[in-house]
Amino acid sequence: MDIPFDLDNLRAFYAEGGASRAIVAAAYQRIARANDPGVFIHLAPENEVAEAASRLPPFDPERYPLWGAPVAVKDNIDVAGLPTTAACPAFAYVAESDAPVVARLRAAGALIIGKTNLDQFATGLVGVRTPYPAPLNPFDPSRAPGGSSSGSAVAVARGFVTLALGTDTAGSGRVPAGLNNLVGLKPTLGALSTRGVVPACRTLDCVSIFATRVADAWTAFEALSVYDPKDPFSRPWEDAGKPIATLGAPREQDLLFFGDEAARGAWLAARAHLEACGVTVREVDFTPLFAVARLLYEGPWVAERRAAIRPFMDDQPDALHPVTRRIIAGADRFSAVDTFDAIYKLAELRRQVEPLWGEIDALVVPTAPIAPTLAQLEADPFTPNAQLGTYTNFVNLLDLSAIAVPGPFRSDGMPAGVTLIGERGADAALAQCALRLFEGRGGVATHEGVLRR
């Protein structure tokens, strides 16, 4: 079956009488043909998913917006009856119930195919910090797939599923989108419940959505966003209602590509595209944003990662991936006083950033300022990871919303992507802006060879 799995094509197939079991069979055939064992940590048995497809109510995309859509879930989010490993076998447990976001997927008609690979305990932006085989970047298997939600991004990019859930604390729902030519919707904090998610930094975590089309990601957001009173970090989502007319872009001195001229070229092409669209782009000072970004890993927020797995790490430190263990163990150097000092510093920086939103409606930045090779990561697992977070690390600390979208390709054939960033509650405006400015280019998941049927 050759049809793309985006919602428009699936709905047309179902409206003409196509069977949801046929889509399930096609999904598993694509997974088998791809021969990439690093994408899924655990696949649901095909016969069980086919049975779930046969139990769907009558086709009604208005009532069930994800009806018959195959979906993957990052393996730090609970799916009832399947293991949750967070890419650490010794940590694994079988989930007794669905996380609320997964339950809402099912209620919207989605079919859960399996659990996807990740940087262990969602600690990383490269996608290869896993004891399992790392997912292969579908554009160039010698390059990093991006993390931590690497398996989720690759599952969508290869056409196995319509949508995939990831998580995003420092950019894990955006960097993999950039390196796989996808849409990555990073919602306002608290808009999607994080109950049933293995935490990284609970105060900053959010569930993210990967798709090939902006409309599909937004459909999923609408289906999943609901206030969860049992989640202490859930907050009712309110549309900020501010249309986007002026975009703020990094100044020349704020453009950091670390010697990657192909990434710079892709960004300059994206800027030229915006100008051709008649968009007002104003260069703004990123100095306070970069200062916020440095707090995430150089400051005591890394201690929140230690808190998330403290009993397990204390009992079985050798069960962690060596890179993951080294990063999280760095939390021990911070004191409670350091934490309060960092909170005060963040408050000062937030106040410095606030006037920016009186000058612009949203930021536009490169999603992935580099596309590191696996060899580079083998030689140095830390520096490229930090560089990947250049334009992502500050977003959740400042309680901002964002959407990563495909942009012009790099000269070496790799995607790089562009990210729009707005204030809390700007999710709808960002999606509308992304749809208007970028999806019309026809560049969404169309690179030859990515959708291997």
326: which residues sit within 8 A by CB, 6+ positions away? none
314 phi and psi angles, rounded to 5 deg: -65, -40
What's the Cα-to-Cα distance from 242 to each of 132, 198, 246, 284, 412, rounded to whole Å?
44, 33, 11, 20, 37
If asked whether residues 30 and 141 sit together in one domain, one would say: yes
If asked whether residues 39 and 172 sit together in one domain, one would say: yes
Amino acid in position 285: D
Number of compact structural domains in the chain = 2
If asked whether residues 204 and 330 sit together in one domain, one would say: no
Distance CA 443, CA 447 (A): 8
**Per-residue confidence (pLDDT) for residue 295, from 0 to 100:** 93
**Per-residue confidence (pLDDT) for residue 439, from 0 to 100:** 83
Residues with catalytic function:
74, 148, 172
Residue after which a domain boundary falls, among 224, 258, 288:
224
Amino acid in position 316: Q
**Per-residue confidence (pLDDT) for residue 228, from 0 to 100:** 98
If asked whether residues 250 and 200 sit together in one domain, one would say: no
**Per-residue confidence (pLDDT) for residue 299, from 0 to 100:** 87
If asked whether residues 291 and 393 sit together in one domain, one would say: yes
Across-strand partners of 209?
165, 185
Residue 157 is assigned to a structural domain of this protein: yes
Residue 199 is assigned to a structural domain of this protein: yes
Residue 447 is assigned to a structural domain of this protein: no
CATH number of the domain that 412 lies in?
A: 3.90.1300.10
If asked whether residues 389 and 355 sit together in one domain, one would say: yes
**Per-residue confidence (pLDDT) for residue 106, from 0 to 100:** 98
213-268 confidence digits (pLDDT tens)? 999 999 999 999 999 999 999 999 999 878 999 999 999 999 999 999 999 999 99
Distance CA 157, CA 452 (A): 9
If asked whether residues 123 and 269 sit together in one domain, one would say: no
If asked whether residues 174 and 270 sit together in one domain, one would say: no
Sheet architecture: strand order including 163-168: 40-43, 111-116, 70-74, 163-168, 206-211, 183-186, 401-405, 418-422, 362-366, 246-250, 280-284
Residue 238 is assigned to a structural domain of this protein: no
Residue 357 is assigned to a structural domain of this protein: yes
**Per-residue confidence (pLDDT) for residue 23, from 0 to 100:** 98
**303: domain range?**
246-429
**Per-residue confidence (pLDDT) for residue 297, from 0 to 100:** 84
Distance CA 289, CA 323 (A): 26
If asked whether residues 132 and 11 sit together in one domain, one would say: yes
Residue 286 is assigned to a structural domain of this protein: yes
If asked whether residues 157 and 278 sit together in one domain, one would say: no
Q: Which of 160, 2, 225, 20 is nearest to 11 (CA)?
A: 20
214-224 helix and 7-15 helix, angle to the nearest 10 degrees: 80
Residues of the chain with pLDDT > 90: what percent? Answer: 94
Q: Which of 23, 41, 131, 28 is nearest to 77 (CA)?
A: 41
Residue 367 is assigned to a structural domain of this protein: yes
Residue 435 is assigned to a structural domain of this protein: no
Low-confidence ranges of the chain (pLDDT < 50): 441-453
